[in-house]
Amino acid sequence: MAIRNIVTKESEQLRKKCRTVVSFDEKLHILLDDMYDTMVSLDGVGIAAPQVGILKNVIVVDLNDGERLELINPLISFTDGTCQELEGCLSCPYQWGLVTRPKDIELSYVDRHNKHKTLKANGFLARVIQHEVDHLKGVLFIDIVDKFLNDDEVDEYMKQREK
Ligand code: CO
């Protein structure tokens, strides 16, 4: 396992469409483990393969609840509702903004052993998954942000949310 370098928003690599995973081999498992370690080292809750320079449809999510979710070849099949929440991105350091996305989602994907799975998600998990799926299409949250917030506004937003 190893921590890999994060590709930041200036790179063209983050603008490419990722490829479908077809080999569920040791190389994929190492990529998944490295993505997880890299994400945790940066206090992230989600990471997509292009963020470590690999243009494949691979996502790792961990909302600090101890459940590590590995989504390979994810496909969002259903969305419902909308909500606006604060987002940031490991590839866009020091940037925060309000983004509107569907509230509830359903998706299909395969795990590291190519086993087919489905998942229903809402709330923060649905948001993180959609943010990461966007990465696989070359889309960053700064492309679809409603409004950027500065540090003071982020503090205020967090305070309001705790109330
Ligand atoms: Co991101």
Tell how far the Cα of 122 is from the centroid of ligand 1, in angstroms.
Answer: 18
Quick one: pLDDT at residue 67?
A: 86
Quick one: pLDDT at residue 152?
A: 96
**Above pLDDT 70, what percent of the chain?**
99
Catalytic residue among 132, 153, 156, 162: 132
Q: Is position 132 annotated as part of the catalytic site?
A: yes
Tell how far the Cα of 134 is from the centroid of ligand 1, in angstroms.
Answer: 8
Q: Which residues contact 90 (CB under 8 A, 6 or more apart)?
A: 6, 39, 42, 44, 47, 51
Please tell me the distance from the alpha carbon of residue 89 to that of residue 8, in angstroms, as a whole number.
9
Strand partners, 58: 72
Please tell me the distance from the alpha carbon of residue 148 to that of residue 1, in angstroms, as a whole number.
35
Global pTM reads: 0.96
Mean predicted lDDT score pLDDT of the chain: 96
Quick one: pLDDT at residue 70?
A: 98
Tell me: pLDDT of 145 over 80. Answer: yes
Q: Confidence class of residue 64 from pLDDT cuts 50, 70 and 90?
A: confident
Tell how far the Cα of 44 is from the centroid of ligand 1, in angstroms.
Answer: 9
Per-residue pLDDT reduced to its tens digit, 70-79: 999 999 999 9
Please give the backbone phi and psi of residue 23, each rounded to the nearest 5 degrees, phi first. Answer: -110, 120
CA atoms in the 13 A half-sphere facing the CB of 137 = 13
Tell how far the Cα of 118 is from the centroid of ligand 1, in angstroms.
Answer: 22
Quick one: pLDDT at residue 161?
A: 85
Distances from the Cα of 103 to the Cα of 21, 85, 116, 118, angstroms: 27, 10, 24, 17
Two structure tokens written together for 42: 């940066």
Tell me: pLDDT of 1 over 80. Answer: no
Per-residue pLDDT reduced to its tens digit, 77-118: 999 999 999 999 999 999 999 999 999 999 999 999 999 999
Q: Confidence class of residue 7 from pLDDT cuts 50, 70 and 90?
A: very high
